[in-house]
């Protein structure tokens, strides 16, 4: 479909229901997200390296005793903003209690969100989502870079409502620690 055709059929305001329908209808696995300001983002489908990193983190958390219904991959999260809500789909989210059923879960019970950087998503994961997740009050945000060491940057929400970098380490090192060391 051409950009002109998309523009002719795109509503003036894209709601979270619209974004959910776009995600459900995309046969190619793209992820559609929107900022609280209404900016639509299209993310490419994850590749095998991305999936491997997510699986390793998921297994690490589960093996450490975190309940499976509280460690979720690619679940929609409602990001509140001053003029409305956006919707993000973190690669992995860890919850204090299982979220209610639905497409866009509230952030109230999130302990951690993890984003795995894909080619082209560097600015989104290291600038935009840092700001949005912090303003939503999500206590911890980890970013996994796709460099040779798969460097994980661990951010924790500070007193001013901004993330403070707590640590930076290769994924292999992180996986040798206990999740409780970082989520306590």
Q: Which domains can be identified in the chain, with CATH numbers?
A: 46-183 (3.90.1570.10)
C-alpha 99/C-alpha 163 separation (Å) is 23
Task: Reply yes or no on whether the pLDDT at 151 is more than 50.
Answer: yes
C-alpha 177/C-alpha 167 separation (Å) is 13
So what's the pLDDT on residue 181?
93
Task: Reply yes or no on whether the pLDDT at 164 is more than 80.
Answer: yes
Number of neighbours of residue 14 by Cβ within 10 angstroms: 17
Kindly indicate the confidence band of residue 2, based on its pLDDT and cuts at 50, 70 and 90: very low
79 φψ region: left (φ > 0), alpha (ψ -120 to 50), beta (else): beta
**Pairing of β 110-116 and β 104-105:** unpaired
Kindly indicate the confidence band of residue 4, based on its pLDDT and cuts at 50, 70 and 90: low
Task: Reply yes or no on whether the pLDDT at 184 is more than 70.
Answer: yes
pTM of the predicted model, to two decimals?
0.90
| Sign of the C-alpha dihedral computed for residues 103, 46, 43 and 120 taken in this order | positive
- Residue 140: both structure tokens together: 């911890």
Average pLDDT, the chain: 91
pLDDT above 70 coverage of the chain, percent: 94
The distance of Cα 8 from the centroid of its chain, to the nearest Å, equals 30
Stretch 29-55: mean pLDDT: 91
Q: What is the pLDDT of residues 117-136, one digit of tens each?
A: 988 888 888 889 999 999 99
Kindly indicate the confidence band of residue 10, based on its pLDDT and cuts at 50, 70 and 90: low
**b/e code 92-128 from CB counts within 10 Å (16+ = b):** bbbbeeebeeebbbebeebbbbbbbbbeebeebbeeb
Asked if residue 45 lies in contact with residue 28, where contact means CB atoms within 8 angstroms, the answer is yes
DSSP category for residue 161: S
Task: Reply yes or no on whether the pLDDT at 6 is more than 70.
Answer: no
DSSP per-residue string spanning 24-78: HH-TT--EEEE-TT--EEEEPPP-HHHHHHHHHHHHHHHHTT--GGGEEES-EEE
- Residue 152: both structure tokens together: 């994980």
């Amino acid at each position: 479909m051409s950009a002109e055709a998309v523009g002719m059929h795109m509503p003036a305001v894209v709601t979270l229901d619209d974004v959910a329908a776009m995600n459900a209808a995309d046969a190619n696995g793209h992820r559609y997200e929107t900022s609280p300001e209404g900016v639509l983002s299209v993310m490419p489908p994850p590749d095998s390296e991305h999936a491997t990193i997510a699986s390793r983190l998921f297994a690490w958390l589960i093996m450490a005793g975190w309940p499976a219904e509280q460690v979720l991959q690619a679940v929609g999260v409602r990001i509140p903003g001053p003029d409305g809500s956006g919707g993000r789909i973190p690669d992995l989210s860890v919850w204090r209690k299982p979220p209610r059923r639905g497409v866009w879960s509230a952030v109230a019970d999130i302990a951690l969100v993890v984003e795995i950087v894909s080619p082209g998503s560097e600015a989104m994961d290291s600038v935009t989502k840092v700001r949005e997740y912090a303003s939503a009050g999500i206590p911890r945000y980890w970013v996994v870079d796709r460099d040779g060491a798969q460097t994980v940057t661990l951010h924790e929400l500070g007193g001013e409502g901004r993330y403070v970098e707590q640590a930076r380490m290769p994924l292999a090192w992180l996986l040798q620690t206990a999740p409780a060391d970082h989520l306590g």
